[in-house]
Amino acid sequence: MDANIVVMGTESVGKSALTVRLLTRRFIGEYGDIESIYSHSFMVDGRELTLNIWDSPYTEDLSVEASLLEKKKVQWADGYVLVYSICDRASFNTVSRLIQFIKSTKDYLSTDKTPIVIVGNKRDLHHRRTVLSEEGWMLALKTDCHFYEVSAAENYHSVLMVFHGLVDRMKDAKLTMKRPLGFRGIVKSMSAVFARRRTDSF
Ligand SMILES: Nc1nc2c(ncn2[C@@H]2O[C@H](COP(=O)(O)OP(=O)(O)OP(=O)(O)O)[C@@H](O)[C@H]2O)c(=O)[nH]1
Coil/strand/helix, residue 69: helix
Q: State which amino acid sits at residue 132.
A: L
Q: Which protein residues touch ligand 1 with a CB less than 6 Å away?
A: 9, 11-17, 29-31, 33, 57-58, 121-122, 124-125, 151-153
Distance CA 171, CA 165 (A): 10
pTM of structure: 0.85
Ligand 1 pocket mutation pick from 10, 13, 94, 128 by most atoms within 8 angstroms of CB: 13
Closest CA to 111 of 82, 144, 142: 144
Which has the closest alpha carbon to 163: 152, 174, 178? 152
CA 107–ligand 1 middle distance (angstroms): 31
Residue-range domain boundaries for the chain: 2-195
Which CATH number is associated with domain 2-195? 3.40.50.300
Cβ neighbours of 194 (radius 10 Å)? 11
Report which protein residue has its CA nearest ligand 1's atom 12.
12
Cite the beta strand spans of 45-196 per DSSP E. Answer: 47-55, 79-85, 116-121, 146-149
pLDDT for the residue 47: 84
Distance of CA 106 to the CA centre of its chain: 15
pLDDT band at 187 (very low <50, low <70, confident <90, very high): very low
pLDDT winner (highest mean) among 108-112, 125-129, 181-185: 125-129
Q: Is the dihedral of CA 121, 99, 92, 62 positive or negative?
A: positive
What is the predicted ipTM?
0.98
d(CA 29, ligand 1 centre) in Å: 7
For residue 200, the 8-state DSSP code is H
Q: CA angle 55-74-40, nearest 5°? A: 40
Look at ligand 1, atom 23, and give the residue with the nearest C-alpha.
57
- The average confidence (pLDDT) of the chain is 83
The stretch 72-98 carries a mean pLDDT of 95
Q: How far apart are the first and last CA of the chain?
A: 44
Q: Is a pLDDT exceeding 90 seen at residue 115?
A: yes
